[in-house]
Amino acid sequence: MNCGECVEHLYEFLDRELTPELEREVRAHIAECTPCDEQFDFEEMFLKFVRARCQTQGAPPELKRRILRELFGE
Amino acid sequence: MADDKRASFEREALIHLDALYRVARRLTGNEADADDLVQETMLKAYRAWDQYERGTNAKAWLVTILRNAFINEYRRRSRHPETVDVDTLEPYAVFPDVQDEDPQGTFFDRIVDDEVLKAIDELPEAFREAVVLSDVEGMSYQEIARILKVPVGTVKSRLFRGRQALQGKLYRYAVEQGYIKGSVA
């Protein structure tokens, strides 16, 4: 696997959507290729960052109460 | 019977309330519509609860109800652009730009929640919903494909372009704020 093929699978790899065989090939490539390894780390960090920033938002307590009232008459 | 229904709905559906709210908030673009959309989704889901196959994917089932309600009733008044204008999306490969200065992307840490949410809200809808379902809610390509009623390949390409566009926006913001010197035009 060369760098171009490896980067093509970048997101599928990070999203754990590759077949086990392709995943092994990607792992083998980034273990030996520093630029690809750095790029994968960068993208992985970015996805974690987005999730962390967005996960803090949840349903407002008043909405939860409103829904429980509507559903169960409480 | 009613108690069983209520108990299973609380256990399998209501635990996804926060996730539904996050999706609704990003789809509608405002709090009032997000509140109404989530409430409507939960009422619809409770009425249809007998048709839901217990123990399957409740979150995906609920998001599907929510999205259908959004398309039928809310989309026209959402403040987001309705159509997928691919030209408005500017994917930008950030890594080559920061590779020397900050290859670990530590500059992102300085960007606060609201800026990230705002940048997501600026993505065209098709890309925004793929990014939210994957990156925020952690759903698989297959789940997203079913919810959006598109092939898995389309999910992949929307995620690729949506993520790159989001990254580009946040990078440009970080450069403007002086969090990173960068080389962006």
Question: What is the SS3 string spanning B112-177?
Answer: CHHHHHHHHHCCCHHHHHHHHHHHHCCCCHHHHHHHHCCCHHHHHHHHHHHHHHHHHHHHHHHHHC
Q: How many residues does chain B have?
A: 185
* Partner residue opposite B6 with nearest CB, options A35, A70, A72: A72
A64 Cβ neighbours under 8 A, 6+ residues apart? B17
DSSP state, A18? S
Which pLDDT value is given to residue B26? 95
Domain that holds residue A64: 3-72
Domain count, chain A: 1
What is d(CA A68, CA B39) in angstroms, rounded to the nearest whole number? Answer: 9
What is d(CA B94, CA B97) in angstroms, rounded to the nearest whole number? Answer: 5
Residue B180's φ and ψ, nearest 5 degrees, are -150, 145
Which pLDDT value is given to residue A55? 87
Optimal mutation site among A11, A54, A62, A68, interface B, most CBs of chain B within 10 A:
A54
Say if B32 is an interface residue toward chain A (CB within 8 Å): no
Which pLDDT value is given to residue B86? 57
What is d(CA B152, CA B156) in angstroms, rounded to the nearest whole number? Answer: 6
* Mean pLDDT confidence for A13-42: 96
Which pLDDT value is given to residue B83? 53
* Partner residue opposite A58 with nearest CB, options B21, B35, B113: B21
Q: What is the ipTM of this complex?
A: 0.91
Optimal mutation site among A51, A67, A69, interface B, most CBs of chain B within 10 A:
A67
Which pLDDT value is given to residue B75? 80
What is d(CA A43, CA A58) in angstroms, rounded to the nearest whole number? Answer: 25
CA dihedral for B155, B157, B158, B163, sign (positive or negative): positive
A31 Cβ neighbours under 8 A, 6+ residues apart? A37
Integer angstrom CA distances of residue B12 from B38, B59, B64: 16, 8, 15
Looking at this protein, which amino acid is placed at residue A66?
R
B147 Cβ neighbours under 8 A, 6+ residues apart? B60, B63, B64, B67, B133, B139
What is d(CA B174, CA B107) in angstroms, rounded to the nearest whole number? Answer: 7
Q: Where do the domains of chain B lie, and which CATH numbers do they carry? A: 2-77 (1.10.1740.10), 86-176 (1.10.10.10)
Which pLDDT value is given to residue B116? 95
For residue A27, give both structure tokens: 């792992």
* Mean pLDDT confidence for A58-74: 92
Give me the CATH number covering residue A20.
Answer: 1.10.10
Average pLDDT by consecutive 10-residue portion of chain B (185 residues)?
85 96 94 96 96 90 96 76 59 88 92 93 94 95 96 96 94 93 70
List, as one string, the DSSP characters of A53-71.
HHHT----HHHHHHHHHHH
